[in-house]
Chain A
Amino acid sequence: MNADTMHYLLQGVQNVTWQSLTMVAIGLLLIWLAIVKEYEPLLLIPIGAGAVLANMPLSPLVGPEGALTVLYNMGVANELFPLLIFVGIGAMTDFGPLLENPRMVLLGAAGQFGIFLTLILALVLGFSHNQAASIGIIGAIDGPTSIYVSNKLAPELVAPITVAAYSYMSLVPIIMPPIMRLLTTRKERAIRMPYSSREISQRTRILFPIIVTIVVGTLVPFATPLIGMLMLGNLMRESKVVERLTGAASNELANVVTLFLGLAIGATMVGEKFLQLSTLFILALGLVAFCLDTVMGVVFGKILNAFSGGKFNPLIGAAGISAFPMAARVVQREAQKENFDNFILMHAMGANAAGQVASVVAGGVLLALMGAA
Chain B
Amino acid sequence: MWTDLAWGLQMMLVGMGAVFALLLLLMVVLRLTARLDRTDRDGEADQPGGEPTAAPMTVQTGPDGSTRILVDDTGLDVDTVAAIAVAVMTHAEHRRRLAGPEVRAHAPGSQLFASRWVSVGRTQQTQPFRKS
Cross-chain pair count, CB within 8 angstroms: 162
Q: Is the interface of B mostly helix, strand, loop or mixed?
A: helix
Contact A220 B22 (CB under 8 A): yes
Q: How far is the CA of A74 from the CA of B103 in the complex (A)?
A: 33
Binary contact readout A340-369 vs B (1 if CB under 8 angstroms, 0 otherwise): 100101100000001001100110011011
Q: Which of B29, B30, B37, B110 has the most CB of A within 10 A?
A: B30
Contact pick for A219, options B11, B22, B109, B122, CB 8 Å: B22
Q: Is the interface of A mostly helix, strand, loop or mixed?
A: helix
- Is A224 interfacial (CB 8 A cutoff)? no
Contact B16 A116 (CB under 8 A): yes
Contact B108 A197 (CB under 8 A): yes
- Is A332 interfacial (CB 8 A cutoff)? yes
Contact A215 B41 (CB under 8 A): no
Contact B27 A240 (CB under 8 A): no
Contact A106 B104 (CB under 8 A): no
Say yes or no: A116-B11 contact (C-beta < 8 A), given A103-B27, A106-B23: yes
- Is B117 interfacial (CB 8 A cutoff)? no
Measured CB to CB, the residues of B under 8 A from A are 1, 4-5, 7-9, 11-12, 14-16, 18-20, 22-27, 29-31, 33-34, 37, 41, 99-100, 102-104, 107-110, 113-114, 119, 122-123, 125-129, 131
Binding-face segment, A24-32, A202-210, A304-312: A202-210
- Is A168 interfacial (CB 8 A cutoff)? no
- On chain A, the residues within 8 Å of B26 by CB distance are 102, 105, 212, 215-216, 357
Contact pick for A109, options B19, B33, B107, B125, CB 8 Å: B19
Contact pick for B20, options A106, A196, A201, CB 8 Å: A106
Say yes or no: A200-B11 contact (C-beta < 8 A), given A109-B19, A212-B26, A336-B123: no
